[in-house]
Amino acid sequence: MASAELQAALRAAEAAARVIRELYQQNLAVTTKADKSPVTEADVRAEQVIREILSDAFPQYGFYGEETGQHDMGRESVWLVDPIDGTKSFVRECPFFSTQIALMRAGRMVLGVSSAPAYGELAWAERGFGAWLDGKRISVSRITEIDAAILSSGNLKTLAQSAAWPRYGELVARVNRIRGYGDFVHYHLLARGALDAVIESDVNILDIAALTVIVEEAGGRFTDLAGAAVGLGTTSVLASNGPLHDDLLTALN
């Protein structure tokens, strides 16, 4: 039985999906924010409906949204929301964008919803209750050797500019297959066992908060590239099926 929090997050994700579907492929005006990332009417309206639903259901919780910023972050429970993770894809009419809704309690991510309305997938998880994709329980792969693994990468700009770049190249040469699905896509694939590890060096916590819960509840591991636990300041990712994780950290570090 889904908790009241998960039910509210799913309602909010569906409300955002309706907004997004209405505005997708409508040639919307794009504004550039101070951090040089794009924002559209769809981002703003989707976050508005998400916040209304979550705040009405849980007015005592804090809220951290991509478009509206941080509110009551000192509360024990805080919603973390990216209404459209992948706005650049949304603008270019590529379906690899999603709505990410997570709940952080006492500094730990405890609930995650990842909704991809154009791609047609909805994943969710709650601590202790497993991970689900379109109503079906999912789990990670059982691959144990790097040379048998499928690796996917996202944005690697910072990694490419670091001393670790040659080690990443060595890792790419070792794995069975390398792809760059990016955004929510490779985390959904990881959680359902279709690939074995994900590496990214340029993320925001709002991009990945929900996905950490989904991957871990599917049986995987989720850290930054140094092996540290995910928190509000996390900017890189090593996510895996679990058995590969320590070997991947060793290879990269």
Over residues 60-77, mean pLDDT: 95
Q: What pTM did the predictor assign?
A: 0.95
Q: Which of the listed residues 101, 129, 157 is the one where a domain comes to its end?
A: 129
- pLDDT, position 125: 98
| Structural domain for 19, as ranges | 4-129
- Burial annotation 199-224 (CB, 10 A radius, 16+ → b, else e): bbbebbbbbbbbbbbbbbbbbbbbbb
Q: Which of the listed residues 129, 157, 175 is the one where a domain comes to its end?
A: 129
In a domain, 138, yes or no: no
Residues 111 and 179 in one domain: no
The pLDDT tens digits for 175-203 are 999 999 989 999 999 999 999 999 999 99
SS3 assignment, position 106: coil
Using CA atoms, how far residue 190 sits from 21, 125, 150, 218, in Å, is 26, 14, 9, 9
Q: List 65's β-bridge partners, or say none.
A: 69, 81
The pLDDT tens digits for 228-252 are 999 999 999 999 999 999 999 999 9
Residues 117 and 174 in one domain: no
Q: Virtual CA dihedral for 199, 204, 208, 209, nearest 10 degrees?
A: 140
- Residue 120: Cβ-neighbour burial (10 angstroms; 0-12, 13-18, 19+): exposed
- Residue 69: Cβ-neighbour burial (10 angstroms; 0-12, 13-18, 19+): exposed
Residues 96 and 155 in one domain: no
Distance (Å, rounded) from C-alpha 252 to C-alpha 158? 14
Per the structure, the count of domains in the chain is 2
Residues 175 and 122 in one domain: no
Residues 44 and 69 in one domain: yes
Residue 27 has pLDDT above 90, yes or no: no
Residues 153 and 229 in one domain: yes
